[in-house]
Structure 1
Amino acid sequence: MTEPRWLDADEMAAWNAFVEAGNLVNRRVEQQLREQAGLSHPQYEILVRLSAAPGGEIRMSELADLVVTSKSGLTYQVTQLEKAGLVSRRTCDTDDRGVIACLTDAGRRKLEITAPGHVEIVREHLIDVLDRDQLRALAGALEVVTRKLRSS
């Protein structure tokens, strides 16, 4: 059995900073969305992805990939959004097994009302804390990680 490659001090510092900052920012975002909109962060992301899609519609399997969740997790969140009248579902025209999630007018209005507060909290706790070089470095580094994880 080979010895594990333990993290050195710099690697451990990077990992701990990533975990702590990610958790703290996510906690603030989650709190803001719950208090101001009655939404979870995944539900907000679903509304965002649907609003950006042509016709406000995306196949559920594709939506699960976009919001980085399991199909069952997505189904649960979409069901909650559907109960609130923010999303509807329909069968795919070309594949009876496929289901399409659709943003409703109420969902679009909810997003329009919620987005300013969301952007404000993201700016306050992440974007405006970093300078442009740091933002570019962070985005570039995380894009590398994302590409690696999505290709494996």
Structure 2
Amino acid sequence: MSRPERLNERELRAWRGFLIMQEDIRRHMNRHLVGEAGISLADFSILSVLRLTPDRPMRVFELIDTLRWEKTRIIHQISRMVRRGLVERQAAADDARGTNIALTAEGRAVIDQALPLHVLHVRRLFFDVLTPDQLDTLAAMSETVLDNLRDEPFDE
């Protein structure tokens, strides 16, 4: 089946709305986190994932798989966070070449302060303006697109 080379008006409206919504939410969330907790949304993302596994550090590849970020982005973000004392690198006990990333006491305190603020803003900016049916539709749409992406080859 041949497809048109351009998006039609309906597709363009949906696609542009999706992209703009993502960027605007990220910008708002980043502004709130920086202003109220002193961390960026990128910091929050890494700290919150590490906070979910408080009993053990995580390997860099685990962070990559969880956050779906590119390796260079994770590495640079971790380096900035190490300099600020939020996380630390540790040699992996089971692999001499591997590195673990762990929360520091300061990083734990920062994420514990930021989590309730983050939830408050996520609810206000996102969930409070959507109906239950819209949330279900969004979840179904996201799952469908993610399933499709799993079948697509990905070049890093």
Give the TM-score normalised by structure 1: 0.89
What is the CA-CA distance between 1:68 and the residue it aligns to? 2.0
Q: 1:10-49 counterparts in 2 under 5 A?
A: 10-49=10-49
Q: CA 1:148/1:128 → structure 2, altered by over 3 Å: closer, same or farther?
A: same
Partner SS, residue 107 of structure 1: helix
In 2, are the aligned partners of 1:87 and 1:107 still within 8 Å (CA)?
yes
User: After superposition, what is the alpha-carbon deviation per residue over 1:37-78, rounded to whole angstroms, capped at 9, x for unaligned?
Assistant: 222211100001111125242100120222222222111111
Structure 1: segments with no counterpart, 5+ residues: none
Q: Which residue of 2 aligns with 1:84?
A: 84
Q: Which residue of 2 aligns with 1:142?
A: 142
What is the CA-CA distance between 1:6 and the residue it aligns to? 2.1
Count of residue pairs the alignment pairs up: 151
Task: State, as a whole percentage, how many aligned pairs show the same letter.
Answer: 32
In 2, are the aligned partners of 1:56 and 1:103 still within 8 Å (CA)?
no
Q: Which residue of 1 aligns with 2:71?
A: 71
Moved more, 137-146 or 2-11: 2-11
TM-align CA RMSD? 1.8
Q: Which residue of 2 aligns with 1:103?
A: 103
In 2, are the aligned partners of 1:29 and 1:121 still within 8 Å (CA)?
yes
Partner SS, residue 94 of structure 1: coil
Give the TM-score normalised by structure 2: 0.87
**Structure 1 Cα separation of the partners of residues 56 and 14 of structure 2:** 38
In 2, are the aligned partners of 1:42 and 1:67 still within 8 Å (CA)?
no
The residue type paired with residue 102 of structure 1 is A
Q: CA 1:41/1:150 → structure 2, altered by over 3 Å: closer, same or farther?
A: farther
User: Which of structure 1's runs of 4+ aligned residues deviate more than 3 A?
Assistant: 2-5
